[in-house]
């Protein structure tokens, strides 16, 4: 019997993810969105599922406007939410998306009480906190798609800079998905060799800066957020969980003392397996990297503190 994955949000990220999942033939998928979207989820799923004979996939792909068909999902991916628009304050974005995440979380609790929840909605770390607060699930079952995307961007930049295959590059990016992300050059390697021994400081600073601005560059060109690679990153998390790979991936996890931080969601190396986060792997950080992690944690803590003062959205 195939495992079941529900994707909440039929936008670009959600639909791209459903298509990737269907291609594997390993899971049955439900794509759900609000009734106001009309037949969009069903239409996209019908289009995707009709490629089954070509792709040799027997996976079912169902579009829905409610959570009835999502029952007993093994994994739920939350992509629904609004992007920050010009003139919108951080608090306004927090309020809007916290309302969405809270509403979805309540419906997930009822339909799939044993699921693992992967959050993609931004601001990511803060929305993970909202989902954890609403579900009251253990931290291993409420995870954010964090540094996988940033690491992928950094790996591409390093591979291009050094003229090597991206398969030989392994990047370590912690912290938040944004300006307070924390690339760790000493733990970023090319064929096992730290880039600190292969690149000049100025070259490392250059690729790191391009990585930080990677999302903004895409928004400037597309006038919308990236979606192909974010979908691929969530796909990697799902495969690690359903195959019980115990693969180490940078994810947003609620910290309980790791890296000297507590009661805050932050991107850290997590061992992903059948139970979600099996454990957090701590990597050595120098003083500069540790200071950057503390700064990132402070930024997320400020958002969490704001949300704690706000009533649980209706």
Q: Which of 4, 156, 161, 177 is catalytic?
A: 177
How far CA 307 is from CA of 67, 119, 126, in Å, comes to 26, 17, 8
* Residue (of 266, 284, 225) closest to 9 by Cα position: 225
Q: Is the dihedral of CA 257, 258, 260, 266 positive or negative?
A: negative
CB 95 within 8 A of CB 313: yes
Give the DSSP H/E element, type plus range, for residue 287.
Answer: helix 287-309
Contacts of 98 (CB under 8 A, 6+ apart): 126, 127, 130, 307, 310, 313
CA atoms within 13 A on the CB side of 313: 19
DSSP secondary structure of 206-241: HHHHHHHTHHHHHHHHHSS---HHHHHHHHHHHHHH
Q: Where are the beta strands (DSSP E) in the chain?
A: 3-8, 27-32, 61-64, 75-78, 116-119, 142-145, 169-170, 173-175, 181-183, 189-190, 193-194, 247-256, 262-273, 276-280
Which DSSP helix (H) or strand (E) runs through 302?
helix 287-309
- CA–CA–CA angle 155, 159, 162 (5° rounding): 135
Q: Is 22 a catalytic residue?
A: no
Q: Closest by alpha carbon to 280, among 313, 256, 302, 312? A: 256
| Active site residues per annotation | 177
């Amino acid at each position: 019997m195939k495992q079941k994955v529900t994707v909440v949000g039929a936008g670009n990220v959600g639909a791209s993810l459903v298509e990737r999942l269907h291609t594997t033939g390993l899971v049955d998928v439900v794509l759900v969105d609000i009734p106001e979207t009309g037949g969009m989820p069903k239409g996209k799923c019908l289009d995707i599922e009709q490629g089954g004979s070509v792709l040799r996939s027997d996976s079912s792909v169902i579009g829905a406007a409610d959570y009835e068909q999502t029952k007993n999902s093994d994994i739920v991916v939350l992509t629904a939410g609004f992007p920050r628009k010009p003139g919108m304050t951080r608090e306004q974005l927090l309020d809007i998306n916290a309302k969405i995440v809270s509403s979805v979380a309540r419906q997930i609790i009822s339909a799939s009480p044993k699921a693992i929840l992967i959050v993609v909605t931004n601001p990511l770390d803060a929305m993970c906190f909202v989902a954890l607060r609403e579900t009251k699930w253990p931290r291993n079952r409420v995870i954010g798609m964090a540094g996988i995307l940033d690491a992928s961007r950094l790996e591409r930049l390093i591979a291009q800079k050094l003229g090597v295959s991206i398969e030989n590059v392994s990047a370590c990016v912690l912290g938040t998905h944004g300006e307070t992300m924390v690339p760790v050059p000493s733990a970023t390697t090319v064929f096992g060799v730290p880039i600190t021994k292969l690149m000049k400081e100025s070259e490392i600073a250059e690729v790191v800066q391009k990585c930080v601005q990677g999302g903004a560059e895409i928004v400037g060109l597309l006038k919308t957020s990236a979606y192909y690679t974010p979908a691929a990153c969530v796909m990697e998390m799902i495969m690690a969980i359903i195959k019980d790979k115990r693969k180490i991936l940078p994810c947003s996890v609620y910290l309980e003392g790791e890296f000297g931080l507590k009661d805050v969601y932050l991107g850290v190396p997590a061992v992903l397996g059948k139970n979600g986060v099996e454990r957090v792997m701590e990597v050595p950080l120098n003083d500069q990297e540790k200071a950057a992690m503390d700064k990132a944690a402070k930024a997320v803590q400020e958002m969490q503190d704001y949300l704690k003062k706000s009533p649980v959205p209706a």
